[in-house]
Structure 1
Amino acid sequence: MYVGIDVGTSTVKAAAFDGSGRELAVAARPVGLSMHGGFVEQDMDEVYGAVVAVLEELTAEVDGPFELAGLTGQGDGVWLVDAEGRPVRAAASWMDGRAHELLDRWLADGTFETVFRRTGSAMFPGCPGPLLAWLAAHEPKALDAAAAALYCKDMVFQRLTGARATTDVSDASMPFLDPRTRSYDNGVVELLGLTRRRGLLAPVSDPVATAETRGEGLPVGTRIANGPYDLPACALGAGVTEPGDGLLIVGTCLASLVATTELDLSGEPAGLYISLDRPGHWLRAMPAMVGTAALDWVLSTTGVRHEEVDGLLAATPPGANGVRVLPYFAPSGERAPFVEPRLRAELTGVSLESTPADLIRATCEGIGYAARHCLEAAGLTGSLAVCGGGTRSPAWMRLLADVLGRPLRVVEGEVGARGAVLAAAERYGVPLDTGVWTRPTEVVEPDAGRAAFYAKGFEDHLARLAAARHRSR
């Protein structure tokens, strides 16, 4: 048996798999987010405690030892730890918006574009560059007390194993890693005013680091591999490895990924190139800030339960009776396929005749249009897989197929945890049949008539978005 650990933004999960990739058991525990005044933070001890708890639950449920474990988790943010991996302060989440004024300045003076041309990373407020620069200016004592500025999974790996703090090429891709040399670009560090703090950047382990666990959550001596982070782990778990093929992750973050062997740092700076364990291979990533989080907010606001979504999507026609949503709900604006730190969501076309069903369909359509925008910008030419919490709604999957105008290879279950196991198996030389492990649950075909309707709707979405971007500046 194998175990995959996925340390998500709102939920920590661990899944057990047999040798053919069959999911045997899953344990999950929610973790909190503190949001105040644009700050979005997480308690590292709570996150790590949730990891230990789900592993203890999982090992109690399944019978037999694990051959190895794979670890993945949310990317970006800043997780400051001391030499023992203990928190120096709360983790600043990838959703954090405190550095938006700093990013505004870098957008205006050309720093933002220069960094993209060198590393393929379009910075956003919640990535380590702006966050570390903000902390250097406002909380220098926190940086003084830290031994490393890690990513989420790296903190968990260090505490599970006691190994030296390191990261991998995927997490390091934003924003300091040169994708050609696979090492930190010290010129970018200097450009962001962080030369004095260069020592906080964790060494890049290439390939991913391995170690044995110390006995918290998993038995002492369990082999574990650290990485890649959740976006590339999901691509592995969904079988997206051939150039041109793509993956849409309908989760808290709406992430669009396309496998590529071409590194093109021209064009509008947006998204990033995620370096993979195979040199010369990248994921062109357009990770929009808000996916299911936008629908969650609408459901909470309207008092509608998740289990009612499918019925309500069927209760109103395509176009939601004229209600339209620009789904840019994140406190830090948007980061893909463009960067607008001050962009906010917009709801239009509402009247006294509008229903909760109209609002929910309009939100799902808006998220679909945002996904289409990202996938086209990322260069999708092949097949498209889809995973994440949104796949639990068959009606939403049919709507997405129509909005995107293409078949969806739906991959259900704990796809990130599955990819973490596959990465660990590759690292340890354990042969697993990836074709069997990544087989889709179903394929959802678009309806030709609805797809044509949504193709026109997408053009309207782009026009409304252009106007909203202009107003946000």
Structure 2
Amino acid sequence: MTSYLLGLDAGNTMTKAVLFDLQGKEIGAERRRNPIRFPAPGHTERDADRMWQDSAEAIRALLQETGVEPSDIAAVSTSGYGAGLYLVDERGNPTRPGIMSTDSRANHVIEEWVRDKIAPENELRVQQRLWSGQPAPLLAWLQAREPGLSQRTHRILFCKDFLRGKLCGVFDTDPTDAGIAGLSDVTKQAYDPDFFAALGLEGWVGKLPEIAPSTAVAGKITATAASLTGLLEGTPVVRGVVDVVAAAIASGIRAPSQMSVVAGTFSINSTLHTSPRIDRLPLLQSPYPVDGLYLATEGSPTSASNFEWYCKSVLGPVVAAAAEDSGRTIYESLSSRVQSAMDRPNNILFLPFLFGGPNSAPAGFIGLEAAHTSADIVRAIFEGIAFAHRLDIEALSAGRDVASVELIRLTGGAARSQPWAQIFADVLGLPVEITRCSELGALGTVMASAVGIGEYAN
């Protein structure tokens, strides 16, 4: 009998069900798009039940496509985007739509906390900066505008924990998700009641998920989940890790000399430290389930999602169809054309701030001329996104307790394009290494599950 590990990774745009063998080789993958709802300006939401149904469908399709017997699945684990918010009742059913980490409805909440001078002290309590896509400001916003929601809600969850709860009926979290959510003391890996009291969120404390080890078995596949997914009832479900941490683990990040860079919906740039950074608080901070280290992250919504917008909104389905007729995706087609534009001058400046920029800087192109081709424009997009990463990395490299980085492990959309990866190396001035696996979130969380079932010591 051959054993396999199944990882379910739900990002901001796609949920992936991926099967690996016990050596980490990818056997197969099924993907389902996660539709985003925009019920009001600045609001980005998701139908949590729809995400679960699509995830179950992806798992069933994966088993059918690979021909793997459910009895050969040794363990299942989940990963997902950090922050945002999923609220459920006692049966694990959503009490409102899920909120994405890209949501900005709570901007004014953060502004009020800064104005009232309660932000700095409470940022120190969770060892990271407070920002609008985190659960705390979102809870404050909901508390003021959706009366009765707290009474209907039994548990506060994050993306991966909602899906794992649907698989095994246990709705808790791990230190990586609780940390990156900005709700727990990263050093103690526990909640601080003073944090919630200071922000007027005492009523939610009893609804916080228990924090338990990332590599422990949380529960087993329930009969209901088995009927929906095709998995075997009783299969172990390991708690798993948040996607930022999963990408770093799967990239082999083990030392402060290595930096994890993810070019996805967000620019995600992370370094390892022997203790949490408090001299200059990063955007995100989390315990790292390797060697007792901590992961500090700077990020912004300025990465490959800008390129995806250009492909979909500017070029449109006709261009995408033409690329697919040639046997390639539109992304692969454009990437190959960029190579032809690398040897000629290009003064186009692209500002990758379609989803928000520093000090409300606008997005757009500067310096376009009639002689420019689509390859020149895409090259400018690639360069603009790489420089946006550099802005975040420079912020991560400021202060006293900084990592001495010698190389970068690049994942996400840019890692699938040789010219784009080279642009990253040129802009950042460091060697860039690419991983062989394409689904790093799923791989990182199944590495946790392999430890959880005793296949590996760590």
Structure 1: distance between partners of 2:291 and 2:155: 26
> Normalising by the residue count of structure 1, what TM-score does the alignment of the two structures yield?
0.84
Structure 2: distance between partners of 1:20 and 1:317: 38
8 Å contact kept, 1:12–1:30:
yes
Structure 1: distance between partners of 2:382 and 2:278: 31
8 Å contact kept, 2:214–2:240:
no
- 2:176 corresponds to which residue? 170
Structure 2: distance between partners of 1:11 and 1:59: 19
8 Å contact kept, 2:47–2:97:
yes
RMSD: 2.1
- 1:450 corresponds to which residue? none
Instruction: Tell me the CA shift for residue 352 of structure 1.
Output: 4.2
- 2:213 corresponds to which residue? 206
Instruction: Tell me the CA shift for residue 78 of structure 1.
Output: 0.8
- 2:307 corresponds to which residue? 295
Q: Aligned to 2:67, which of 54, 62, 71?
A: 62
The 1:345–1:11 alpha-carbon spacing in structure 2 relative to 1, beyond 3 Å, is same
Structure 2: distance between partners of 1:426 and 1:13: 21
Q: Does 1:192 align with 2:210?
A: no
**Greater displacement, 91-100 / 241-250:** 241-250
8 Å contact kept, 2:215–2:451:
no
Q: Map Cα deviations across residues 332-387 of structure 1 (whole Å, 9 max, x no partner).
A: x35xxxx75x4442432234444433332222111111212323433451331111
**SS of corresponding position for 2:102:** coil
8 Å contact kept, 1:384–1:408:
yes
Q: Which AA in structure 2 matches 1:401?
A: A
> Normalising by the residue count of structure 2, what TM-score does the alignment of the two structures yield?
0.87
Q: Aligned to 2:297, which of 264, 280, 285?
A: 285
Q: Aligned to 1:388, which of 412, 433, 436?
A: 412
Q: Does 1:430 align with 2:455?
A: yes
- 2:239 corresponds to which residue? 226
Structure 1: distance between partners of 2:135 and 2:362: 22
**Greater displacement, 240-249 / 76-85:** 240-249
Q: Map Cα deviations across residues 251-276 of structure 1 (whole Å, 9 max, x no partner).
A: 12221111211322123x44121123
The 1:376–1:29 alpha-carbon spacing in structure 2 relative to 1, beyond 3 Å, is same
8 Å contact kept, 2:81–2:160:
yes
Structure 2: distance between partners of 1:196 and 1:203: 16
Matches within 5 A, 1:453-468: none
- 2:439 corresponds to which residue? 414
Q: Does 1:22 align with 2:46?
A: no
Instruction: Tell me the CA shift for residue 246 of structure 1.
Output: 1.2
**SS of corresponding position for 1:115:** helix
Structure 2: distance between partners of 1:207 and 1:352: 54
**SS of corresponding position for 1:180:** coil
8 Å contact kept, 1:115–1:121:
no
Q: Which AA in structure 2 matches 1:3?
A: L
8 Å contact kept, 2:302–2:388:
no
Instruction: Tell me the CA shift for residue 317 of structure 1.
Output: 4.2
Q: Does 1:112 align with 2:119?
A: yes
Instruction: Tell me the CA shift for residue 140 of structure 1.
Output: 2.5
Q: Does 1:275 align with 2:284?
A: no
Structure 2: distance between partners of 1:90 and 1:371: 31
Matches within 5 A, 1:144-155: 144-155=151-162
Q: Which AA in structure 2 matches 1:370?
A: A
The 1:43–1:76 alpha-carbon spacing in structure 2 relative to 1, beyond 3 Å, is same
Structure 2: distance between partners of 1:320 and 1:392: 24
- 1:329 corresponds to which residue? 354
- 2:421 corresponds to which residue? 397
8 Å contact kept, 1:84–1:159:
no
Matches within 5 A, 1:254-269: 254-267=267-280, 269=281
Q: Which AA in structure 1 matches 2:95?
A: V
8 Å contact kept, 1:25–1:62:
no
**SS of corresponding position for 1:86:** coil
The 1:38–1:318 alpha-carbon spacing in structure 2 relative to 1, beyond 3 Å, is farther
Matches within 5 A, 1:91-102: 91-102=98-109
Q: Which AA in structure 1 matches 2:266?
A: C
Instruction: Tell me the CA shift for residue 180 of structure 1.
Output: 1.8
8 Å contact kept, 2:406–2:430:
no
8 Å contact kept, 2:214–2:241:
no
The 1:2–1:113 alpha-carbon spacing in structure 2 relative to 1, beyond 3 Å, is same
The 1:224–1:190 alpha-carbon spacing in structure 2 relative to 1, beyond 3 Å, is same
Instruction: Tell me the CA shift for residue 219 of structure 1.
Output: 1.3
Q: Does 1:246 align with 2:259?
A: yes
Q: Map Cα deviations across residues 278-297 of structure 1 (whole Å, 9 max, x no partner).
A: 58411111132232111111
Instruction: Tell me the CA shift for residue 211 of structure 1.
Output: 1.1
Instruction: Tell me the CA shift for residue 240 of structure 1.
Output: 0.7
- 1:42 corresponds to which residue? 46
- 1:446 corresponds to which residue? none
- 2:326 corresponds to which residue? none
Q: Which AA in structure 2 matches 1:79?
A: Y
Give the gaps of 5 or more residues in structure 1: 435-473
The 1:222–1:286 alpha-carbon spacing in structure 2 relative to 1, beyond 3 Å, is same
Q: Which AA in structure 2 matches 1:211?
A: G
Structure 1: distance between partners of 2:112 and 2:282: 17
Structure 2: distance between partners of 1:90 and 1:207: 26
**Greater displacement, 99-108 / 43-52:** 99-108
The 1:320–1:421 alpha-carbon spacing in structure 2 relative to 1, beyond 3 Å, is farther
Structure 1: distance between partners of 2:371 and 2:160: 47
Q: Does 1:139 align with 2:142?
A: no
Q: Does 1:369 align with 2:377?
A: no
Structure 2: distance between partners of 1:319 and 1:270: 38
